[in-house]
A and B are shown apart, each in its own frame.
Chain A
Amino acid sequence: MTEYTAPLKDMLFVLRYLCGLDDLSQLPGCEDLSAELAAQVLEESGRFASGVLSPLNAVGDREGAHWEQGVVRMPAGFAPAYRQFIDAGWNSLPFPAEYGGQGLPRLLAAPVMEMWKSANLSFSLCPMLTSGAIEALLLRGTALQKQTYLPPMIEGRWTGTMNLTEPQAGSDLSLVNTRAEPVSPDAASDFADGALVELGECYRLHGQKIFITYGEHDLAENIIHLVLARTPGAPEGVRGLSLFIVPKYLPDAQGKPSLRNDVHCASIEHKLGIHASPTAVMLFGSGVGEVGAGAVGYRLGTLHHGLETMFIMMNAARFAVGMEGLALAERAMQQAVSYARDRRQSRDLSGAPGAVPIIRHPDVRRMLLSLRSQVEAMRALAYVVAAAMDVAHQHPDAAERARQQAFVDLMIPVVKGWNTENAVELSSLGVQVHGGMGFIEETGAAQLLRDARITTIYEGTTGIQANDLVGRKILRDGGKAVRAWMATMRDDQSALQLRLQSADAVTPAQKDNALRLAQVLDGALQSLQHCVDWILQSPQDAPRHLSAVHAGAVPMLTLCGLVAGGWQLARSVEVVLRLLDDDATTDRDFLEAKLHTASFYAEHALRRVQGLAASVMGGADAVLDMPESQF
């Protein structure tokens, strides 16, 4: 097993040359950003990820979290590591300085997040959930709520959770039936002995939530649950749901945790992966605690608008899970390359005597290049989307903000769906490179595959992402956002072709490969165009067409991912050719490797686009026609 090493060179390359880091630092609120700062922050976070989080990854997997009488004990080493993590200020990176954050842009938060997730996915989920709860409070909290909860949560002394799912309400939250009953101010003072009651309109919650990540643990002094629940007389469905802040310990007037609330962890799940991340069943209102019966909750935001708040946070959460896909694939690649260099089996095809490192065998190279090229494509795409999020928030021009937000909204299901499906495939390939040893837990390759498996499911399954892509993101605006994206990609494809006319610093073979990439990308863009046109057509039988579009939604999502990845690698190649032309002393090895990976991607990944397009446009009947009884 190898420890994680942060891929600093590639991260910085993407930040500088593909995400326009220097331009971004011109935006209001991003003044602190510079290439030097980015390098220094990534250097130190990389050191922390390798030195502290990575060594706990296997331990966490083996030991798992333990439940006993409502208390959850984390695996050995997690509590001190979490303490170090928050002491070093990492939890506070992207949040406003006003509440103790460092106020750094999302673009810089993305690679740092990737590192935590590569080093130790289970660990990373704790700060990730806290971060989601912080976003919600920033967005909808009252001044007192912000003042009370944000500083300890941004510091990391308190952590946060999202309580949405119930046994009967998974992907469909309209079925949520956790109750929240208003408490009169008089009744509130009954339990308020030492607790702060002005924290918002007060409610008592009753119900059960499941799959609550870090719902209970021993890392922090308080846990702030954000709970989706229904108030009496609220409309049926999702429009009757409101959001509540339910602290494990109610804060007192000084903001210190005081009374134990009536919210308890009934058990934690045994899972396929992410063993160290406690997945809790939470009971609200079981009558245990220091506040009487019913979990005390304070409403966050407007009545009946709870799901809206959740949806605003959804982009961030889905993006973060997309980062998990990238992060796990990166780690799987590091493991596989290291094993393939080390492991000697069979002579090479030239027949020279003696077993060679398996990295010399063509099929092993193919697997390693699959990992490498797709990791680079996913990283470039994800960071570019992170940069667009910053522009969408900070740009002074409203039209530019809207343009970038439309791009972000379009790309979120792609980053989430495509990166995570890739992660399952690529971590499986990582196991394959190890041969029989990959099936043995001690190599660590198997853990990555098991950990990756949840990423295509939580925060919306791949199917949900694909429906979102074709429904909300392509059909709803009549294809405006997707056509704008395609126009950008065509411009970048032309820029590569233009660059190839002058690129003098590379060999004819390298130039040839880059030209082929440009051509394959051109073909892929045409296929995408056909699919988009087909989706947006308005045929006679509209309901049938809608079903047909959804039958091909996942192939369409994969297609968009492959094209988006190819687009980013084409941009990388354009940059590499420019850098090599400008300065012969640059890091040739690193840059030339990018030419190789891009060319592999063109031949082995991008070429699949044509086949997928056929499935998108012609595969629906085969999906829809078989009667249910014949299954």
Chain B
Amino acid sequence: MKVLVPIKRVVDYNVKVRVRSDGSGVETANVKMSMNPFDEIAVEEAMRLKEAGLASEVVVVSCGVTACQETLRTGLAIGADRALLVESEVELQPLAVAKLLQAVCVREAPGLVIMGKQAIDDDSNQTGQMLAGLLGWPQATFASKLKLADGRAQVTREVDGGLETVSIRLPAVVTTDLRLNEPRYVTLPNIMKAKKKTLDVLKPAELGVDVSPRLKTLKVEEPPVRKAGIKVADVQALVDKLKNEAKVI
């Protein structure tokens, strides 16, 4: 079975994100970029399936600018067999990415798509769900445990009330939560091997997908600086403030 792992290049989680002075977005020039941490978990899970003999091939795919190739190389260095970049200079929004991935899935016919539940840059948490919808495949989001058997996936999901276990038919889309696994360190021999693995580049037009943005960003701004707190005299004053100033009760 082939496993497809979509990965996204994002601002590294260690970087303190800065808003561009014109408010059009966050600064990404000369900022350290790396693989979305949730996607790293997805690649790791795919590798474990392969090592357990449950997957035959792991393909990593990314949609975005040319530099995404670096992120794909990291995926190959973790152990993926080959990589695919859908190259676009246009800002790609979740629906566009989902459509691109849908087209890729039609071509590649994977038995399973594993991807991060969300990307740490825009926190949309939409692409996996949209992809499953477009493909008409079952989905299990926020996975913290994954078992494959008899053409089905048993997935433990992290939901508000605790854990929910579902069984879904394959092919399916699974999105990963933090506790699914702990990604490995990349090994030096695998970095060297990754150089020789195939990395194909496609354009959205070749997949017949229109990726023009549909959402318009009005403004991006820093969150307001938190003000210092005050001490209230008694419960009465607290309730009064919550009711009339904060207006939360």
- Chain A residues within CB distance 8 Å of chain B: 5, 8, 32, 36-37, 39-41, 43-45, 47-48, 51-52, 84, 87-90, 92-93, 102, 585-590
Contacts and interface: CB of A to CB of B under 8 A. Distances in A.
Contact of A44 (B14, B29, B70, B191): B191
B185 A44 contact: yes
B188 interface: yes
11 contacts: A39-B70, A40-B191, A40-B194, A43-B34, A43-B74, A48-B185, A84-B185, A88-B185, A89-B190, A102-B192, A590-B30
B229 interface: no
A588 B187 CA distance: 33
Contacts of B73: 36, 40
B186 interface: yes
Interface residues of B, number: 19
Nearest to B188: A89
Residue in A36, A39, A89, A102 with the greatest tally of chain B CB atoms within 10 Å? A89
B192 A32 contact: yes
A-B complex: 6 closest residue pairs judged by Cβ atoms: A89-B188, A587-B30, A88-B187, A44-B186, A89-B189, A89-B187
A88 B192 contact: no
Contact of B189 (A5, A45, A102, A587): A102
B30 A40 contact: no
B48 interface: no
Nearest to A585: B29
Contacts of A32: 192, 195
Nearest to A588: B30
A593 to B, nearest CB: 12
B195 A102 contact: no
Interface in B11-39: 14, 29-30, 32, 34
Interface string B163-207: 000000000000000000000011111111011000000000000
Contacts of A587: 30
A447 B194 CA distance: 39
Contacts of A93: 188
Nearest to A103: B192
Contacts of A36: 70, 73
B77 interface: yes
Interface string B30-54: 1010100000000000000000000
B195 A88 contact: no
Given A44-B77, A587-B30, A589-B30, A37 B188 contact: no
A363 to B, nearest CB: 27
Contacts of B29: 585
Contacts of A585: 29
Contacts of A84: 185
A43 B190 CA distance: 14
Contacts of B195: 32, 37
B225 to A, nearest CB: 16
Contact of B188 (A5, A8, A102, A588): A102
Given A585-B29, A587-B30, A589-B30, A41 B188 contact: yes
Contacts of B30: 586-590
B191 A87 contact: no
Nearest to B74: A40
A32 B193 CA distance: 11
Given A587-B30, A589-B30, A590-B30, A41 B191 contact: yes
Contacts of A52: 185
B182 to A, nearest CB: 11
A104 to B, nearest CB: 8
Given A102-B192, A587-B30, A590-B30, A40 B185 contact: no
Contacts of B192: 32, 102
Contacts of B191: 37, 40-41, 44
Contacts of B187: 87-89
Contacts of A586: 30
A44 B190 CA distance: 11
A88 B188 contact: yes
A370 B189 CA distance: 38
B188 A51 contact: no
Contacts of A5: 14
Contacts of A39: 70
Interface in B65-98: 70, 73-74, 77
Nearest to B184: A88
Contacts of B186: 44, 47, 88
Nearest to B34: A43
B32 to A, nearest CB: 8
B86 to A, nearest CB: 20
B188 A92 contact: yes
Given A88-B187, A93-B188, A586-B30, 5 more contacts: A32-B192, A40-B73, A40-B77, A89-B189, A590-B30
Residue in B14, B77, B188, B194 with the greatest tally of chain A CB atoms within 10 Å? B188
Contacts of A37: 191, 195
Nearest to A85: B185
A583 to B, nearest CB: 12
A93 B194 CA distance: 16
A580 B77 CA distance: 33
A335 to B, nearest CB: 17
B90 to A, nearest CB: 20
Contacts of B194: 40
B188 to A, nearest CB: 4
Contacts of A590: 30
Interface string B111-143: 000000000000000000000000000000000
Contacts of A90: 188
